[in-house]
Amino acid sequence: MYDFNDKPDLNITPLVDIMLVLLAILMVTAPVVEFEETINLPTGSRSQQTQNVQKIDIIITKERVVTLNKNKVEIKNFPDSFLQFSSGKDQNTPIYIRADKTLQYDDIIFVLKSVKEAGFFKVALVTDG
């Protein structure tokens, strides 16, 4: 018969077993899950220039060499070279940046940031299409 003076034993072994199985499942599946947001990049539209306007062309090659209106510059020296090149130019001059599609975004943003810091705000990224 049951003795009411005996205190029941707390058995946590099944709880620990279940938690270890859940932990093992979590550890196996966590590296497999990749959080990725898919985006569709727009293609550029072709338009003809209506007038002959002074412009600045910046081309970034896959070797990370920047061509600034036919003057080649290393990407790390671009901010100083661009400040020197753009001194005395109208800040409403349009700037077209062409970059190789294999480049990392960091390099393109670095050039874009340098152009913006020089005071130019009419900047366009050129695409195919």
Q: Which pLDDT value is given to residue 105?
A: 85
The backbone torsions φ and ψ at residue 67, rounded to the nearest 5 degrees and listed phi first, read -105, 120
Residue 71 belongs to domain spanning: 56-125
Q: Which pLDDT value is given to residue 48?
A: 59
74, part of any domain: yes
Query: Which residues, other chains included, contact 95 with Cβ-Cβ below 8 Å and sequence gap of 6+?
Result: 55, 56, 57, 58, 115, 120, 122, 123, 124
Query: Which residues, other chains included, contact 91 with Cβ-Cβ below 8 Å and sequence gap of 6+?
Result: 119, 120, 121
State the average pLDDT for the chain. Answer: 82
Rounded mean pLDDT, 92-105: 86
103, part of any domain: yes
Least confident among 50-59, 60-69, 85-94: 50-59
As a whole number of angstroms, the distance between CA 18 and CA 26 comes to 12
Q: How confident is the model at residue 17 (pLDDT cuts 50, 70, 90)?
A: very high
Q: What is the CATH number of the domain that holds 66?
A: 3.30.420.270
Q: Higher-confidence residue: 49 or 92?
A: 92
pTM of the shown model: 0.56
92, part of any domain: yes
- Parallel, antiparallel, or unpaired: how do β-strands 65-68 and 71-74 relate? antiparallel
Sheet containing 95-99: order of strands = 71-74, 65-68, 56-60, 95-99, 123-125
The helix/strand/coil state of 117 is helix
51, part of any domain: no
| Domain count within the chain | 1
1, part of any domain: no
Q: Which pLDDT value is given to residue 61?
A: 86
14, part of any domain: no
Q: Which alpha helices (H) appear in 1-129, and where do they start and end?
A: 13-29, 78-86, 105-117
87, part of any domain: yes
